[in-house]
Amino acid sequence: MSHDAQQKGSSLTLVLMVASAAIGGTLQYGYNLAIMNAPNTFIQTFINETFRERWAIQLEDFQVTLVWTIIVSIFSLGGLVGAIIAGPMSICFGRKKCLLLNNIFLLSGALLALTSRAARSIEMIILSRVLIGINAGISMNVQPMYFGESAPKHLRGAVSLSSAVFTSFGVVLGQVVGLREILGSESCWQYLLASNAIPGLIQLLTLPWFPESPRYLLIDRGDKEACINALRRLHGCEVESSELAEILEEQAETKGMKPCGPWELFRDRSVRWQLISIMVISSAMQLCGNDSIYFYASYVFKEAGISNEQIQYVTIGTGTCEFTACIMCNLLIERKGRRFMLTGGYILMTVWAVVFTIALSFEHLISWMPYLSMTCIFTYILSFGIGPAGVTGILPTEIFNQTARPAAYMIAGSMMWLNLFVVGMIFPFLVSTARQCCFVPFGSVCLLSALYVGLFLPETKGKSLSAITGEFHVLNFKNEEAHSSQIQYQMGEVCPSTAW
């Protein structure tokens, strides 16, 4: 085989590997956000009837909504559990096997959802949502690690970003499958809730054919032979030696260091601002309300004055917006840098939240206002997709080293899921009580996030880990006198515990 053909073959392997891992990974996250929107009235009726028949309780409307928000949001508590066990699992089984095992949660969840209607059981729906959440929590953390570690350096940003692209693709897919004409009808909601098993099955059939992450094989397992084989399959022969050298270098740097736990990260002063940054940014990603819009799209569009028949088609527009924006983000990110995309995204989102609030306030006075509100939601999601959606997920890979990465992902993931739970629980109530002001809290979050990124987050584009660590070093030790911090920085370069 010629070098060219080999090169092509290996990048094809990489592309297929990314697709196979993502289809059971972040695609599931998006899918499971989106499928909850279509059956909301059907399942609320089911809740209403089940309580009456089984316990002879007539629920008030707000109680039905409450049970419904629990069913929707408990997904994120499952995700939290998943994010916490993802780190240890990925170290113990390896990235690939961890993703494969993860499907056990998914398939049992889908089975519960499928049988819940016949069993007239709300508990089974709730449990199934927890299990599916665990599945999403694990894959959301392991998949970017797997990608970041497997891709050659010049593609790392793009490959990691594909996580966000697949999330939004999952959203669109979920919204399409949720159409009344497909599975979104009254008689089909249990199939809709269980349909997430199909991507999982596809992953189970395809992922075993791809190699494990080369970095994991060498750094965590110490298996150089396997690492070289994996690299050869993923990158082709030519790049192999330079890639291997880079991994060996990272191995030497982290020699004797065990993967650290999250508590060690909290105690380590040299990573304080890195940690604060990923916590703020992953919280902001959920507190800005974007992902909850997918849960409750029909509530938002009803509030915006869109008619009932149009809502389901407009909803698909939201997913498509994020999908398009994520692809755009992929094209721009290496040129414009992470910091620019994040700040820009959040500033635009603030603007749209303000316009949305104004449009809702004048909804009943001016006839075209509902269209302006609808456009605002689209542009809000677009702005989210261009910046925060993609960048948030890759930051932990870029600012932490191999030993700290699993713990960093665990912390970032926990913040993300906790905040999704909070927003998911209050969103429908917020929309129905705050009415035209319902986006004010989200807009404020966007503004604060833009300020934080603008003031504190250094640019990470194209920089090596030690350069990034150096920039954070200034923040971490800024209270000390200039010259002593200079000395510490120099020491930091030789002492493995402070500089990576």
Contact residues: ligand NAG, CB under 6 A: 44-45, 48, 61, 64
Give the whole-angstrom CA distance, residue 79 versus residue 83: 6
User: Measured from the CB atom, is 61 or 249 closer to ligand NAG?
Assistant: 61
Q: How far is the CB of 372 from ligand NAG (least distance, A)?
A: 30
- Closest to 246 measured CA to CA, from 152, 105, 169, 315: 152
Q: How far is the CB of 50 from ligand NAG (least distance, A)?
A: 11
Total residue length of the chain: 500
Q: How far is the CB of 58 from ligand NAG (least distance, A)?
A: 7
Q: How far is the CB of 49 from ligand NAG (least distance, A)?
A: 7
User: Measured from the CB atom, is 53 or 61 closer to ligand NAG?
Assistant: 61
Give the whole-angstrom CA distance, residue 24 versus residue 166: 10
User: Measured from the CB atom, is 44 or 485 closer to ligand NAG?
Assistant: 44
Give the whole-angstrom CA distance, residue 425 versus residue 444: 19
Q: How far is the CB of 40 from ligand NAG (least distance, A)?
A: 10
User: Measured from the CB atom, is 51 or 378 closer to ligand NAG?
Assistant: 51
Residue 374 DSSP code: H
Long-range contacts of 424-429 (CB under 8 A, 24+ apart): 424/69, 424/72, 424/73, 424/75, 424/76, 424/292, 424/295, 425/69, 425/70, 425/73, 427/69, 427/289, 427/292, 427/295, 427/296, 427/299, 428/65, 428/68, 428/69, 428/296, 428/299, 429/62, 429/65, 429/69
User: Measured from the CB atom, is 61 or 246 closer to ligand NAG?
Assistant: 61
Give the whole-angstrom CA distance, residue 44 versus residue 200: 27
**What residue number has its CB nearest to ligand NAG?**
48
Q: How far is the CB of 70 from ligand NAG (least distance, A)?
A: 14
Rg (CA), the chain: 23
User: Measured from the CB atom, is 50 or 277 closer to ligand NAG?
Assistant: 50
User: Measured from the CB atom, is 45 or 206 closer to ligand NAG?
Assistant: 45
Are the CB atoms for 346 and 446 separated by under 8 Å? Answer: yes
User: Measured from the CB atom, is 184 or 396 closer to ligand NAG?
Assistant: 184
Encoded tokens for 100: 């494969």
- Please report, for residues 259, 275, 472, the alpha-carbon distance to residue 263 in angstroms, rounded to integers and kept in the order given: 12, 11, 20
The number of helix segments (H) and strand segments (E) in the chain equals 24, 0
Stretch (H or E) spanning 462: none
Q: How far is the CB of 60 from ligand NAG (least distance, A)?
A: 8
- Closest to 478 measured CA to CA, from 273, 265, 278: 273
Stretch (H or E) spanning 138: helix 122-150
Q: How far is the CB of 102 from ligand NAG (least distance, A)?
A: 35
User: Measured from the CB atom, is 45 or 444 closer to ligand NAG?
Assistant: 45
Q: How far is the CB of 54 from ligand NAG (least distance, A)?
A: 14
